[in-house]
Amino acid sequence: MKRITDVPYWSLDSSEALDQVQSSTDGLSSKEAATRLTAYGENVIKPKKRLSQVALFLNQFKNPIILILIFATSISAVTGDWFDAQIILLIVMGSALLSFYQEYSAGQAIEKLRSKVQITCSVKRDGKFSAISSQFVVPGDIVQLSGGNMIPADGRILESDDLYVNQSLLTGESMSVQKIAGVVSEDSEVGERQNCVFMGTSVFSGHAIELVMGTGTATHYGRIAEQLTLRPPETDFERGI
């Protein structure tokens, strides 16, 4: 399925943007929203797949230093030096168990925090605004924004009243920037799109109505998150080991 965000929606006027997502200023019906939720998925940045406890423990033995120590243990055992072999094995197992406990505890703490933190937003469904969890926002939704709100998804401004947004997470700008309804050039950069707001940023002041164009991993924030989960290139030190 072609993502809506592949289309330069910032260069479309309000009516064309609404047509692009097959929506209207009255928002979506609950039935249509449910259909789109199935098609596009929940509005979340998928966390890295969690390992089972056994896999997490075995993962501790991938460290090159641990592998060297295991090799040394084998040599000591083969040469009959059982005392040294036992000492090294105890060190290896102690290190692995400690690393496993720390990593497992950190993972549990993150999951507990994630379950407690729920961002809600005001979305127009069936012709009226109501508060829903941001994970259920879909392309085509009409979202009401006001000071202090986290922006739940990428979209464009349909109406604004003295709206200022802090988008330093994406652009590095230290000051909040004004957002207004209108049209900008198709080849404009993210920081130049005055008619757009983005997931992960927040409303500093003012009010606005947003038309959601992209959710989850189809947002700018989602693309950055995906890139961060890619395996980093091997360093010279790792290659030397």
Per-residue pLDDT tens over the stretch 146-188? 999 999 999 999 999 999 999 988 888 888 999 999 899 999 9
- The proportion of the chain whose per-residue pLDDT surpasses 90, expressed as a percent, equals 46
Instruction: Decide if pLDDT at 110 tops 70.
Output: no
H/E stretch holding 130: strand 128-133
pLDDT at res. 116: 55
pLDDT in the model for residue 57 = 81
**Residue 67 has what pLDDT?**
83
> Three-class SS of residue 36?
helix
| pLDDT confidence tier of residue 1, bands split at 50, 70 and 90 | very low
Inter-residue long-range contacts of 63-71, CB under 8 Å, 24+ positions, other chains counted: 64/238, 64/241, 66/92, 66/95, 66/96
Considering 90-99, 133-142, 165-174, 220-229, the range whose residues carry the highest mean pLDDT is: 133-142
Which pLDDT value is given to residue 49?
64
Q: Tell which wins on pLDDT, 232 or 12.
A: 12
Q: Show the CA angle centred on residue 211, arms to residues 210 and 214, nearest 5°.
A: 115
pTM: 0.69
Amino acid identity for residue 65 in this structure: I
Which DSSP state fits 135? G
Lowest mean pLDDT across 10-19, 55-64, 213-222: 55-64
Q: Which of 207, 227, 132, 199 is nearest to 164 (CA)?
A: 207
Tell which residue, 150, 194, 144, has the closest CA to residue 169: 150
CB 173, CB 193: distance < 8 Å = no
pLDDT grade for 2, boundaries at 50, 70 and 90: very low
Looking at residue 171, what is its pLDDT? Answer: 83
**pLDDT class for 10, splitting at 50, 70, 90?**
very high
Rounded to whole angstroms, the Cα distance separating 172 from 96 reads: 39
Please tell me the predicted confidence (pLDDT) of residue 5: 57
Higher pLDDT, 237 or 9: 9
Phi, psi of 29, deg, nearest 5: -80, 160
DSSP strands (E only) in 136-217:
142-146, 154-166, 177-179, 196-197, 202-214
Share of the chain above pLDDT 70, in %: 86
- List Cβ neighbours of 121 (8 Å cut-off, separation of 6 or more): 131, 132, 134, 137, 143, 144, 149, 150, 152
Report pLDDT digits (tens) over 25-35. Answer: 999 999 999 99
